[in-house]
Chain A
Amino acid sequence: MSIDMSQFHQVFFEECFEGLEAMESGLLTLDMGDIDSEIINTIFRGAHSIKGGSGTFGFTVVAEYTHIMETLLDEMRDGRRQVTQPAVDVLLGSVDCLREMLTAIQNEQDVNNASVAKHKTALEVVLNGGAVAEESAPPVEQESISEEVVANIVPDMPEEEPVEAQEQGWKIAFCPYLDLLKTGNDPVRLFRELNELGDLTTVANIQDVPGFYEIDPEECNISWDLKVVGDISADEIREIFNWVEGDCEMEVQPLAKAAKPAPAVKEIDPEPAAITPTNPAPKPAEVKAKVTTETKKSDTQDSENEAAKTTAKASSIRVDTDKIDTLINMVGEVVITQSMLGLVGENFSMDKVGQLKRGLAQLERHTRDLQQSVMNIRMLPISFVFSRFPRLVHDISSKLDKKIVLKLVGENTEVDKAVVELINDPLVHLIRNSLDHGIEMPADRVAAGKPETGTIELRAYHRGGHIVIEIIDDGRGLNKDKLLAKAIEKGLIEENNLLTEKQIFELIFMPGFSTAEQLTDISGRGVGMDVVRRNIQSLGGNIEIISELGKGTTIAIHLPLTLAILDGQSVAVGDETYIVPLVSIIESINITERMLNKVAGKGETFRLRNEYLPVIRMRNIFNVHSGNPTKSKEGVLVVVEGQGEMCCLLVDELLGQQQVVIKSLEANYRRVEGVSGATILGDGSVALILDVPGLVRFSIR
């Protein structure tokens, strides 16, 4: 009967991390002056679903911790508590702490209790306005108290495994009003009755118990989470609680709540509990949280969807149902076309050729549509990556005492999932660089006549078949002279080398290059930029830098939209066939040998509209010996662009355009210079896909 809960753990963790990210971004967007209640709601929902989930899966440490956060957030939401920067910082810290806890649990390690306790204390201090000392004292002790209480109330209670959702039974949140005891009701009696119905587990929430000196022995400050296991009807439960109906808030849910929408027995007194002036905070929050549990369920769903948009490294994809529906429709079409073709083929005669051709054309269209919609499923908005940067900027800028605003533009730009996963680390690195080296200290900025607050803009947009991600800062810019001097000092270039501006900027991608005068823990070790470039190149993209001294730096990353399929132009060189990605082709020109100019007897250039472009003879650089060499006297020049530079590839012939599926050469071999991958042609043979930026780089050298 019991189902292995661990199979749901992965989903739970994913949801938790999504929730945490939603909370984090919410906290960061909170504006102290003008609180947007919707943002607080979002944060609250995040905390709430984590609490719910961790409770279900038996991660009580997490549930307890989130509960405190939730209490605090709830007060903020109701406007009963001022949202202050310190409180937000503590909440941010708690988000980190939760993340640590969840990661530890996920990896089946022990939760770092010391750090949890520290954050818990900080939270409680904020919650109690820093007044109640005893309560915020060691939380570990609290834990033991709560266990004691449980033991006292139900002495002969059997040891229970953590909640199993598939068990039959009921989960009851029982939260009596302060004066429950005065009405002559004893919760212990209720529990005994419950225990007769089935196996009862009780967990007492004692965080509302005031400090020892403030305690009123006639008040009931404890609330309980009860769990009864057994085949019990809702009426039986209701009967037991009949007597206390007006004196408490309670909610009854079947244990297997995931399976069916709980026909919850809800008894809520419309008036919130009386608030004692000495201890105003936690009690109503607790109550409120319980009340909202049910109504918030649907909202939680929404927030999860929202959160789905913001995850960074999800190993599964959540796909819009619309996308799936389109896909299913398309598969249907393909099946119909296929059966139609089958019919044509069954009794084939020449007069059916027209029908066959029509069918094939239809099949082609459907296949293309199908392929596009499948690709579409892999597309995720770039906000999956961007969403974590506000936090990064927030943390680092406060560490560096700089004032920096991060602007995100084009977060909804969709990119391939693989790109999303791999682009994150390079981006983190580049943003750290901008924060540390790019933006100046506020005083320097004012002295330079710039606004005190620096701006980093993270922008994503589509251009052609590429997605462009730009990191724009208005900082000090790159100092060309300094870069040159450093490169010469490190022996990376010769002293007399003449470099273009672009080439100088490219120096920072050299391994071991750092101009930072001082190493910080943020950046400056001179490892990284080369790795950044390598990562981006391995994605088939490239990176370029535009910088103006004193004005700022723009780093633009160009990436292919998808890593799986590209539109290609097949070209012939001798007997070999190569694929040139269509996006990089500017034009193709029929030429004769005389149209090429020799430079210094070696390199060749071609004059295209008053611009001299270097010519790469594919036959030479790929050492192709097959075919008729005289043919190369009259060839086709394919003008290509890569990394902002143009060059011409001299090939024998243009063959045709087609979509090609990219296969990795590295999977079974290794990276080959000038080749970005391979594909399989219609006749089953292999063709190599040219790495245009790599060839261009080669031609410039």
Chain B
Amino acid sequence: MTTDVQSNNSRVEQFLTFQLAGEAYGVEILKVQEIRGWETVRVIPNTPAFVKGVLNLRGSVVPIIDLRERFSLEHCEYSPKTVVIVLCVEHGASQFVMGIVADAVSDVLDINLEDIKKSPNFGSKIDTRYMRGMHVYKKKMIMLLDVDKLLNPDEVEGIESLV
């Protein structure tokens, strides 16, 4: 996962950054399987609103999660620029493929692990468990997400379904 690029032993990871309601977020690029345009998905009944539905990804059924709704950001209509980032999530011993909806993909950044700042403590109101940390790039804050925690199928738990 980490590569020793420089001789000074600093560890660098690549992150894919994307836009969500004007804010920049980043995910480890090694987790990204592919990026595709938004297309209509099949709704799964009785799941939380942020689970948009499932998509046929070359024969496997992949759930798509809207991060705007997941983070309770204002909703916006999907446009041709809307993208789905398909991620490979590890949970325990098993791997899951899930997609997240983002407004737009921006860049791939090499980030030195030492430059990742710990996410600030917002108190109990804001959950920072899914954050890997913050990074400042060109004076802009980028929130780095820990996709394994964010997209844990158990965390994607719905309302108590049918029962």
Instruction: Tell me, yes or no, whether B45 is within 8 Å of chain A by CB.
Output: yes
B-contacting residues, A84-132, CB 8 Å: none
Instruction: Tell me, yes or no, whether B62 is within 8 Å of chain A by CB.
Output: yes
Q: What does the 1/0 interface line of B35-60 toward A look like (CB < 8 Å)?
A: 00000111111110000011110011
Given the known interface contacts A665-B54, A686-B54, the answer about A673 and B162 at a Cβ–Cβ threshold of 8 Å is yes
Determine whether the beta carbon of A669 is less than 8 Å from that of B156: yes
Instruction: Tell me, yes or no, whether A228 is within 8 Å of chain B by CB.
Output: no
Determine whether the beta carbon of B42 is less than 8 Å from that of A621: no
Please tell me which one of the listed residues B40, B45, B96 contacts residue A685 in the complex, with CB atoms under 8 A apart. B40
Determine whether the beta carbon of A685 is less than 8 Å from that of B47: no
CA of A576 to CA of B61, assembled, Å: 16
Instruction: Tell me, yes or no, whether B63 is within 8 Å of chain A by CB.
Output: yes
Q: A687 to chain B: which residues have CB within 8 Å?
A: 42
- Nearest CB in chain A: distance from B85 CB, A: 15
Determine whether the beta carbon of A686 is less than 8 Å from that of B97: no
CA of A664 to CA of B55, assembled, Å: 12
Instruction: Tell me, yes or no, whether A623 is within 8 Å of chain B by CB.
Output: yes
Determine whether the beta carbon of A684 is less than 8 Å from that of B56: yes
CA of A152 to CA of B162, assembled, Å: 79
CA of A694 to CA of B162, assembled, Å: 10
- Nearest CB in chain B: distance from A141 CB, A: 47
Determine whether the beta carbon of A663 is less than 8 Å from that of B45: no
Q: A577 to chain B: which residues have CB within 8 Å?
A: 42
Please tell me which one of the listed residues A621, A669, A684, A698 contacts residue B54 in the complex, with CB atoms under 8 A apart. A669
Please tell me which one of the listed residues A621, A668, A670, A680 contacts residue B45 in the complex, with CB atoms under 8 A apart. A621
Determine whether the beta carbon of A669 is less than 8 Å from that of B42: no
Determine whether the beta carbon of A672 is less than 8 Å from that of B56: no
CA of A669 to CA of B55, assembled, Å: 12
Q: B53 to chain A: which residues have CB within 8 Å?
A: 686
Please tell me which one of the listed residues A576, A674, A678 contacts residue B46 in the complex, with CB atoms under 8 A apart. A674
Determine whether the beta carbon of B56 is less than 8 Å from that of A576: no
Instruction: Tell me, yes or no, whether B124 is within 8 Å of chain A by CB.
Output: no
Determine whether the beta carbon of A686 is less than 8 Å from that of B45: no
Determine whether the beta carbon of A576 is less than 8 Å from that of B43: yes
Chain A CB count within 10 A is highest, among B45, B47, B55, for B45
A-contacting residues, B39-92, CB 8 Å: 40-47, 53-56, 59-63
Instruction: Tell me, yes or no, whether B98 is within 8 Å of chain A by CB.
Output: yes
Instruction: Tell me, yes or no, whether B163 is within 8 Å of chain A by CB.
Output: yes
Please tell me which one of the listed residues A667, A670, A674, A688 contacts residue B42 in the complex, with CB atoms under 8 A apart. A688
Nearest chain A residue, comparing its CB with the CB of B94: A667
Q: B97 to chain A: which residues have CB within 8 Å?
A: 668
Nearest chain A residue, comparing its CB with the CB of B40: A685
Given the known interface contacts A673-B161, A680-B59, the answer about A686 and B41 at a Cβ–Cβ threshold of 8 Å is yes
Q: B42 to chain A: which residues have CB within 8 Å?
A: 576-577, 678, 685-688
Nearest chain B residue, comparing its CB with the CB of A626: B43
- Nearest CB in chain A: distance from B53 CB, A: 8
Instruction: Tell me, yes or no, whether A624 is within 8 Å of chain B by CB.
Output: yes
Nearest chain B residue, comparing its CB with the CB of A573: B45
Given the known interface contacts A663-B60, A667-B61, A669-B96, the answer about A688 and B156 at a Cβ–Cβ threshold of 8 Å is no
CA of A622 to CA of B43, assembled, Å: 9
Determine whether the beta carbon of A665 is less than 8 Å from that of B162: no
Determine whether the beta carbon of A668 is less than 8 Å from that of B163: no
Determine whether the beta carbon of B46 is less than 8 Å from that of A686: no
Determine whether the beta carbon of B60 is less than 8 Å from that of A675: no
Please tell me which one of the listed residues A672, A678, A680, A694 contacts residue B47 in the complex, with CB atoms under 8 A apart. A672
B-contacting residues, A598-641, CB 8 Å: 621-624
Determine whether the beta carbon of B63 is less than 8 Å from that of A668: yes
- Nearest CB in chain B: distance from A563 CB, A: 15
- Nearest CB in chain A: distance from B56 CB, A: 5
Determine whether the beta carbon of B60 is less than 8 Å from that of A668: yes
- Nearest CB in chain B: distance from A298 CB, A: 45
- Nearest CB in chain B: distance from A578 CB, A: 9
Determine whether the beta carbon of A686 is less than 8 Å from that of B162: no
- Nearest CB in chain B: distance from A244 CB, A: 62
CA of A669 to CA of B45, assembled, Å: 13
- Nearest CB in chain A: distance from B96 CB, A: 5
Q: A663 to chain B: which residues have CB within 8 Å?
A: 59-61
CA of A317 to CA of B40, assembled, Å: 41
- Nearest CB in chain B: distance from A531 CB, A: 19
Q: What does the 1/0 interface line of B16-47 toward A look like (CB < 8 Å)?
A: 00000000000000000000000011111111
Q: B54 to chain A: which residues have CB within 8 Å?
A: 665, 669, 678, 686
Given the known interface contacts A684-B56, A686-B56, the answer about A668 and B43 at a Cβ–Cβ threshold of 8 Å is no
CA of A624 to CA of B47, assembled, Å: 12
Nearest chain A residue, comparing its CB with the CB of B47: A672
Q: B98 to chain A: which residues have CB within 8 Å?
A: 668-669
Given the known interface contacts A670-B156, A686-B55, the answer about A623 and B46 at a Cβ–Cβ threshold of 8 Å is yes
Q: What does the 1/0 interface line of A155-172 toward B look like (CB < 8 Å)?
A: 000000000000000000
Q: What does the 1/0 interface line of B105-116 toward A look like (CB < 8 Å)?
A: 000000000000
Determine whether the beta carbon of A668 is less than 8 Å from that of B62: yes
A-contacting residues, B100-131, CB 8 Å: none
Q: A665 to chain B: which residues have CB within 8 Å?
A: 44, 54, 61
CA of A629 to CA of B43, assembled, Å: 17
A-contacting residues, B122-163, CB 8 Å: 153-154, 156-157, 161-163
Nearest chain B residue, comparing its CB with the CB of A686: B42
B-contacting residues, A628-684, CB 8 Å: 663-665, 667-670, 672-675, 678, 680, 684
Chain A CB count within 10 A is highest, among B46, B60, B61, for B61
Given the known interface contacts A621-B162, A665-B54, A678-B54, the answer about A672 and B45 at a Cβ–Cβ threshold of 8 Å is yes
Q: A685 to chain B: which residues have CB within 8 Å?
A: 40, 42, 56
CA of A200 to CA of B107, assembled, Å: 71
- Nearest CB in chain B: distance from A701 CB, A: 8
CA of A577 to CA of B161, assembled, Å: 20
Determine whether the beta carbon of B61 is less than 8 Å from that of A678: yes
Given the known interface contacts A668-B96, A685-B40, A686-B41, the answer about A673 and B46 at a Cβ–Cβ threshold of 8 Å is yes
CA of A672 to CA of B43, assembled, Å: 12
Determine whether the beta carbon of B60 is less than 8 Å from that of A667: yes
Please tell me which one of the listed residues B55, B62, B96, B161 contacts residue A672 in the complex, with CB atoms under 8 A apart. B161
Nearest chain A residue, comparing its CB with the CB of B154: A670
- Nearest CB in chain A: distance from B51 CB, A: 8
CA of A674 to CA of B47, assembled, Å: 12
Nearest chain A residue, comparing its CB with the CB of B57: A668
CA of A576 to CA of B43, assembled, Å: 8
27 A-B residue pairs with Cβ-Cβ distance under 8 Å, sorted by A, are A576-B42, A576-B43, A622-B45, A622-B46, A623-B45, A623-B46, A668-B60, A668-B96, A669-B44, A670-B153, A670-B154, A672-B44, A673-B46, A674-B162, A678-B54, A680-B59, A684-B56, A685-B42, A685-B56, A686-B41, A686-B42, A686-B54, A686-B56, A686-B61, A688-B44, A694-B162, A698-B163
A interface residues, Cβ below 8 angstroms from B: 576-577, 621-624, 663-665, 667-670, 672-675, 678, 680, 684-688, 694, 698
Closest 10 pairs (CB-CB, A-B): A622-B45, A673-B162, A686-B42, A673-B161, A669-B63, A678-B61, A663-B61, A668-B96, A670-B153, A680-B56
Given contacts A669-B156, A670-B156, A673-B162, 16 further A-B contacts (CB under 8 A): A576-B43, A621-B162, A665-B44, A665-B54, A665-B61, A667-B60, A668-B62, A668-B97, A668-B98, A670-B157, A672-B44, A672-B45, A674-B45, A686-B42, A686-B54, A698-B163
